[in-house]
Amino acid sequence: MTVTDPLDLIDIDSLLSDEERQIRETVARFVADHVRPHVADWFEAGTFPRELAPELGKLGVLGMHLEGYGCAGTSAVAYGLACLELEAGDSGLRSFVSVQGSLAMFSIWKYGSEEQRQEWLPRMAAGEAIGCFGLTEPDFGSDPANMRTRAVRDGGDWILNGSKMWITNGSVADVATVWAQTEDGIRGFLVPKDTPGFTTRTIKRKLSLRASITGELALDDVRLPGSAMLPGAAGLGAPLSCLSEARFGIVFGSVGAALDALRTTIDYANNRVQFGKPIAAFQLTQGKLADMAVDLGTSALLALHLGRLKDAGRIKPHQISVGKLNNVRRALAIARECRGILGGSGITLEYSPLRHANNLESVVTYEGTSEIHTLVIGQTLTGHAAYR
């Protein structure tokens, strides 16, 4: 027998419910119709079409794992499978959905007031408003506890000063969740885009995540009413809990990037003829393809297991670190190996593996570098926090 898809090698679909398979297939069709025909051009141009946001809203993937306020309220596994198919299209697409739903919307959904939820979540779920998440700073990425952005009380208002860097959706967002130091510790604030003193800049000349908008946020004496603060968010644990939500999507999404790279490469190897036969018929090529398919399958099984744990309410942050560390690392290795099999053709945007590899260079860094996740796992194993 010959399997038609790398994940069929270990029959991943048999572990999914009918509803989960349907959601995955629906998102896959959307990507095939709305993303694949255009994504190479977006990548080359260094842009992400804002008009895609309402279409993603109609698809139901924006905040799809949240309850109420126009959100779909799906399971964690269903959300993960959607991320898998979105990132099979491009990491920039999955990043948009992750930042919108698991960072910006989740921060409001979990820590916001009812008024904040009613104001923003229905529009964000529909893709009518775009959000971003301002935690990382130019000098503080892996060490957000020492962020320099400050919020100071002024009567009933807050005055914010500082800057945020490497913010997905930053320069196209209608609202930013901005984290700042206060006299009571780290707190979160909702900053609408037209607030005086709040400016953004799009980061250009990227070699990775080119089909994604990355920005810098600047806050210069930004005055916000007291109602702009997220009342339920107190301390660093609040933004870190949001990051855990987004990292979960990456555990599945990175499988999608690797899956698309491997599918593309198997198809190419079956059709590329050298020395009188397809290169897929050579032992060296088959050895590479087999190793990649096994790695892909184990990553998919890990993602599914973590999804089941999350749906059962039993997942721990260090387990998400295991998933992100393993799956992104394996996906990056698969994309690079696939590029090699494609030969000279592999350096063009006609084929996806190098685009995926370039994107995964960002994914392996953002929302916790591989080194940080390694140390999280090390601390869990030994009880010693090596990064402190």
Catalytic residue ranges: 367
Round to whole Å and give the CA distance between 187 and 315.
25
Residue positions counted in the chain: 388
Q: Is the dihedral of CA 261, 263, 268, 269 positive or negative?
A: positive
Round to whole Å and give the CA distance between 320 and 38.
32
Round to whole Å and give the CA distance between 65 and 244.
14
Round to whole Å and give the CA distance between 71 and 165.
29
At 206, give phi and psi (nearest 5°): -80, 150
Radius of gyration of the chain (CA): 21
Query: Burial, 18: exposed, middle or buried (Cβ in 10 Å; 0-12, 13-18, 19+)?
Result: exposed
Under 8 Å between Cβ of 189 and 230:
yes
Tell me the CA distances in angstroms from 26 to 252, 354, 388, one per residue in order: 16, 26, 45
Which among 167, 156, 176, 57 is positioned nearest to 108, based on CA atoms? 176
Under 8 Å between Cβ of 149 and 179:
yes
Under 8 Å between Cβ of 335 and 108:
no
DSSP string of 52-77? HHHHHHHHT-TTTTS-STT-----HH
Which among 59, 67, 66, 62 is positioned nearest to 100, based on CA atoms? 62
Amino acid occupying residue 238: A
- Provide the strand spans (E) within the chain: 131-134, 150-154, 157-168, 175-182, 185-192, 198-202, 214-225, 229-234, 273-274, 277-278
Amino acid occupying residue 10: I
